[in-house]
């Protein structure tokens, strides 16, 4: 009964790991042209990627399928596309942040990202499951996701697709089975949030001349990165030795889990996008988290050694 189905999908066993593989249709021109970012066409794409699932929203389905049909090889050597993932494939969910438009959870993705390798006979073979930690960004009130909302998701995918090596990975989408809200599956940034990092670098100061220039910030971050990677332990730059910077970041990493990423909000408030008119604005002020890093006379109140890594005058 099941033999024809197994033959069609060519489900085989390799070193005790079940993998899916599908034969390329040899009745049409070979569509595998990785140098032109063409891996497959609608006839030879692995069927399990586009069949047997639905998000419940036709626009979301078409968006995900378009990323599959237009997949290209990523820098890892595997096809780059979005997946639709059943909500029950996540476990150990923990809320780690919330904003006006979304809630963010950490979770374990039981199966991990689908990774396919093309075989010499034209088959695409899927690697076995590999659980990974991910971030789930649940989009508030997205049960009937609007075109504008979905376009923002598409824009994020476009940015990641065109330069996947330097951005947080965007793996796919899912849906909370209780609230019916859509969720984006993203790489988990376990080194803290962007607001905290930018505050440390003075980038968010309301006083323009206290912010580093783009070139200054690039040079500082490059030096810090090299220090962390043990590439310049004895080099002295910006008043610090490379090994000192690595020690500071190692210490800061211990504090990262204690940094709150949840912000209070009015449960009765309705959050909407609006245009800024910039009229009758109050005098700009730094939030307390930034003031802490800018106050030279407040050394005793510092909660991180990163305060000392300042942009030189």
Domain range for 128: 3-187
- 42 and 133 together in one domain: yes
- 171 and 241 together in one domain: no
Does residue 313 lie in a domain region? no
Contact 68, 88 (CB under 8 A): no
User: What whole-number distance in Å separates Cα of residue 306 and Cα of residue 309?
Assistant: 5
- 31 and 158 together in one domain: yes
- 111 and 176 together in one domain: yes
DSSP state of 116: E
Number of domains in the chain: 2
pLDDT at site 173: 96
pLDDT digits (tens, 9 = 90+) for 116-125: 888 887 777 8
Stretch 295-313: mean pLDDT: 40
- Report the half-sphere exposure of 200 (CA within 13 A, side-chain side): 19
- 86 and 163 together in one domain: yes
User: What whole-number distance in Å separates Cα of residue 160 and Cα of residue 165?
Assistant: 8
- 63 and 142 together in one domain: yes
pLDDT digits (tens, 9 = 90+) for 200-239: 556 667 677 777 788 887 888 888 888 878 887 778 877 7
Task: Estimate to the nearest angstrom the gap between the alpha carbon of 197 and the chain centroid.
Answer: 17
CB atoms within 10 A of CB 124: 24
pLDDT at site 302: 39
Does residue 245 lie in a domain region? yes
**CATH of residue 13:** 3.30.200.20
pLDDT at site 29: 55
And the tokens for 278? 């910039």
Does residue 247 lie in a domain region? yes
- 129 and 262 together in one domain: no
User: What whole-number distance in Å separates Cα of residue 59 and Cα of residue 260?
Assistant: 36
Phi, psi angle pair for 5, to nearest 5°: -65, -45
- 20 and 113 together in one domain: yes
- 165 and 225 together in one domain: no
Residues with Cβ within 8 Å of 248's Cβ and at least 6 positions away in sequence, in order, are: 305, 306, 308, 309
User: What whole-number distance in Å separates Cα of residue 22 and Cα of residue 220?
Assistant: 49
Nearest to 122 by CA among 31, 17, 15, 11: 31
Q: Which residue among 187, 206, 234 closes a domain?
A: 187
- The Cα angle at residue 221 between residues 73 and 233, in degrees rounded to 5: 105
């Amino acid at each position: 009964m099941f033999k024809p189905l197994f033959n069609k999908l060519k489900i085989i066993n390799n070193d005790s790991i079940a993998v899916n593989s599908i034969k390329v249709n040899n009745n049409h021109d070979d569509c595998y042209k990785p140098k032109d970012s063409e891996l497959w066409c609608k006839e030879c794409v692995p069927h399990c990627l586009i069949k047997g699932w639905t998000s419940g929203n036709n626009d979301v389905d078409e968006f995900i399928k378009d990323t599959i049909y237009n997949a290209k090889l990523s820098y890892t050597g595997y096809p780059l596309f979005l997946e639709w993932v059943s909500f029950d494939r996540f476990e150990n969910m923990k809320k780690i942040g919330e904003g006006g438009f979304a809630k963010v959870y950490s979770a374990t993705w039981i199966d991990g990202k689908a990774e396919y390798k093309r075989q010499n006979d034209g088959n695409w073979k899927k690697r076995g499951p590999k659980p990974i930690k991910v971030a789930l960004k649940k989009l508030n009130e997205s049960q009937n996701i609007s075109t504008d909302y979905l376009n923002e998701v598409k824009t994020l995918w476009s940015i990641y697709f065109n330069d996947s090596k330097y951005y947080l990975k965007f793996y796919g989408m899912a849906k909370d089975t209780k609230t019916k809200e859509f969720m984006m599956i993203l790489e988990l940034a376990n080194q803290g949030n962007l607001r905290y990092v930018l505050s440390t670098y003075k980038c968010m100061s309301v006083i323009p001349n206290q912010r580093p220039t783009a070139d200054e910030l690039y040079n500082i971050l490059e030096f810090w990165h090299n220090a962390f990677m043990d590439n310049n332990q004895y080099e002295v730059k910006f008043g610090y030795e490379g090994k000192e910077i690595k020690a500071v970041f190692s210490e800061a990493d211990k504090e990262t889990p204690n940094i709150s990423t949840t912000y209070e909000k009015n449960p009765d408030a309705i959050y909407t996008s609006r245009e800024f008119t910039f009229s009758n604005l109050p005098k700009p002020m730094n939030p307390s988290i930034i003031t802490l890093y800018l106050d030279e006379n407040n050394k005793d109140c510092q909660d991180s050694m990163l305060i000392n890594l300042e942009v030189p005058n």
